[in-house]
């Protein structure tokens, strides 16, 4: 579709989705209202509801937007890898992801989504997003299943290090967890 042929709703949905990512990352599912997202998107709450009939659907759209961005960044990392071996591609994707979560927005959205994963649509969106990330990492890197599992596991450990600020703890247990892990400053 050309921009001239897009409806107002088609033009507004990405704006609302971007606002939802920001607001839900800040306040979580339970702490963010449709009115918060509408205010950030500079439209009325009624129009947000017209576009996304439930808060859960709006949150799911934010989660889907998050995972789309993650895959885009992983692809850019893979494309920029000087070493195109499976290990080199995974390493480059890991570095790209670490840079992506430096501002914590997508990281915090994922954490909040995990906390409400029992909501049917949210759980489905989380699994679909993780499937997309795993399938992409596997196909693009050509790495073994074990290496892809380790890549995902290290990513989750990176989340924990960043959210719990473990890298700031000088104790041996913290150094053990952070050793060799790249994560944003």
Confirm whether pTM is higher than 0.95. Answer: no
Q: What is the pLDDT of residues 35-92, one digit of tens each?
A: 999 999 999 999 999 999 999 999 999 999 999 999 999 999 999 999 999 999 999 9
Domain assignment of residue 94, given as a range: 3-178
Residue 49: inside a domain: yes
- 29 close to 112: Cβ distance less than 8 angstroms: yes
Q: In total, how many domains does the chain have?
A: 1
Q: Is the dihedral of CA 26, 178, 176, 81 positive or negative?
A: positive
- Report the CATH number at residue 34: 1.10.357.10
Residue 185: inside a domain: no
Residue 184: inside a domain: no
Closest CA to 62 of 146, 133, 126, 6: 126
């Amino acid at each position: 579709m050309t921009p001239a042929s897009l409806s107002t709703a088609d033009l507004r949905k990405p704006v609302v989705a971007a606002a939802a990512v920001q607001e839900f990352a800040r306040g979580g599912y339970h702490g963010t209202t449709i009115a918060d997202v509408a205010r950030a998107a500079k439209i009325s709450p009624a129009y947000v509801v017209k576009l996304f009939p439930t808060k859960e659907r709006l949150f799911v759209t934010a989660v889907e937007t998050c995972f789309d961005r993650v895959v885009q960044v992983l692809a850019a990392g893979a494309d920029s890898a000087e070493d195109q071996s499976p290990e080199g591609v995974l390493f480059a994707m890991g570095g790209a992801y670490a840079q992506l979560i430096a501002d914590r927005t997508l990281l915090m959205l994922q954490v909040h989504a995990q906390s409400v994963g029992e909501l049917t649509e949210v759980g489905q969106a989380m699994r679909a997003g993780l499937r997309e990330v795993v399938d992409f990492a596997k196909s693009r890197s050509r790495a073994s299943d074990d290496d892809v599992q380790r890549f995902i596991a290290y990513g989750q450990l990176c989340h924990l290090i960043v959210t719990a600020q473990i890298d700031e703890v000088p104790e041996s247990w913290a150094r053990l967890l952070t050793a060799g892990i790249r994560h944003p400053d």
